[in-house]
Structure 1
Amino acid sequence: MIEAIAAVTREANAPFTIEPVSVADPGPGQVRVRVEAVGICHTDLVCATGALGAVFPIVLGHEGAGTVESVGLGVGKVAPGDKVIMTFASCGKCGPCHDHDPAYCASFTTLNFPGVGADGRTSLSQYGKAISGRYFGQSSFASYAIAEERNIVKVPAHLDLALLAPLGCSVQTGAGAVMRSLEAKAGSTLIVVGGGAVGLSAVLGGVLSGCGTIILVEPQQDRRAVALEIGATHAIDPAAGPLAEAVRGIAPGGANYIVDTTGNVAVLQEAVGLLAQKGKLGMIGVPGALDAAVQMPIVPALTVGYSIQGICEGDSDPDTYLPELIEYLEAGRLPVEKFITVYPFDQINEAIKDAHGSKCVKVVLTF
């Protein structure tokens, strides 16, 4: 085992505490990573409430990036010293995994949310007692993390890991929703609801897809400004007046694609009415209640022909899509630095407070 420091969540809705933990040696097919940067994602904060089945105490974190410290038996994808980013876990055995669609792995929920492996075991302990440490197959709110070979991707050594870390979830989810899930066509109209890291990544996905009109709906002025800077053609304050009127003033025929990152039922209900003929609404945002539901009016669905699609991880196949995003980043076409703010790891609680207080958009913690 190796000693590390970690941000531990001991009970639902409790603040993170920086504590020493012990990290197991990598088993067969596993990789131990010295974490250098990790993004804070909204899903981490939802899990910290206990809403998604987290087993406390737990170490969260699922946008880790760092250097391979050691590898287990049979690992050939990476070697000690390689720079890597970590992403979601998948089983590699089910139908979706065999079809290169691991975001819809049949075991996604059990492998990613509770913080223990499929065998019920964890990779972390403290004073001889187990701590949940397999969250999203990594638990990277720690200076060392155990990941499976499946959920790591090797990255160029010269790139800034603080910029790469969010690609493991937020960026691939937002950009992938537009590029992969909805397969947005060049010249089309895209609306993105919510200007957090996922929403701004969806804006970038629209730019990379060649969308002709890209509208961000976001109440915070600074986030609207960032969206316009990175390629949105319009930014709407939903508090300024009727949203439908504002959208139809820009796109009279409605939107070909809408990506919702809020998970707000009322917002989703209104978004349906903004779709063009045969438009598509992609739902990314996690709602506050697990039983949240959207009512779908049947007749408009039949006459307009719209579709509503749930989206997980931007339909990403990390081994192929993350390298694609990295190429865009290297070429200056994925300017995620425009909405990333870096904090020291031990300031995790202050960083979350600042994000909630609108002082920053995407927080990345560094060791």
Structure 2
Amino acid sequence: MLLGLSSRWFLFRYSPVSCKRFFATSSVAVPEKPQFFKKNTPKQNALPYRVPPLEVWNVLREREQNAPAVPKLSTLIELGKPRLTALVVLTAMSAYALAPFPGLSLSHLLLLAGGTTLCSLSANSYNQCMEPLLDYQMARTHNRPIPRGAVRPEHGWLFATGAGMLGTIMNYSVNSTVAWLGVLNIAIYMGLYTPLKRVSILNTWVGSIVGAVPPLMGWAACSNGDLFTHPSGILTAAIMYAWQFPHFNSLSAMVREDYKTCGYRMMSWTNPPLNARVALRYTVLCLPLSLAYISCGIVDPWYAIAAIWVNIVFTRKAWTFYRNPSNPNARKLFFGSLMYLPTIFIVTLVAHIMKEMNDYKREPQATKNLDNVSPPLMTLHDTKEQIETTTPRD
């Protein structure tokens, strides 16, 4: 009960009396109540009418009381946005595979994957526990577990906390740098990005930091916690940071009315030309960042051909969205961003593996043979002679 009340208090940051005043003087769009109980109801329904927010509060309280006493595990995982989490884990694994350090460990890789997954589930679950009233008002999110009454807020808080703690333990089993990066990411997403969404358009830049941290976690896992020995670790995070803008700006353009209704300060409705311009700017930035892998020695020069082609396709969609920020063009850019990220990382990984194989073939045969030779065993006689020669004499 206390966890559920704390989520509502954090959302409004006022006393209960102030919340009632807010409800009495405001109006929001909400879906018709029976729609949630009809079968085959599309999730993107238009919001049919406007009612005072007090009714929204009452509906959520009623659904909270009728929610299952023990939620299903699948519903709790849905609370953590599993598809987004899978993308986060992909970026961490890509950075781990690209790191040019010896001693890759399968156990570390599995611990990193599990820890990153749990930390991502934790951050996303915290986000949904803090915003059930706002999620209920938007057509894109009103079918999330808490607004539809599938999970009680206190269960969501417990799941988020447990997942975060277990994920941190798994990350710490890799090294302390990975663990601290995971904790920092949860803190930024929960304590800074989520409340900033209703305050300033700077929330997009802060949210992009959250997306750039998982590659650093993967790099730190392979480099034993050293993030700055090789520039490719920061470079991978920079690509993820730049990618966030065309991905999110195109998404926010498609749901701009929902964001406006809930008071989210997004460029898509506060300044649509800026929204499209920022998306194009950071899409163009992805090209030189991708080509920088060549100068870092991660890939061979032929990689530029594939990287330029992938980035041109991506930039063309961003340019079309910039010229005409309509919903169809926003949708094309959004799905283009979903295709771009795995494509560029797969191309980079293949190029990196081929470079490693070519470098191994170019090594002198004598060097390869020395790597396989074991040091000779030292006899007892040799040991005594070595001690006598190394011991200083008076």
Whether these two folds match at TM > 0.5 is no
Structure ranking higher in strand proportion: 1
Structure ranking higher in helix proportion: 2
Q: Which of the pair has more CA radius of gyration?
A: 2
TM-score normalized by the length of structure 1: 0.26
Say which structure, 1 or 2, has more relative contact order (CA 8 Å, 6+ apart): 1
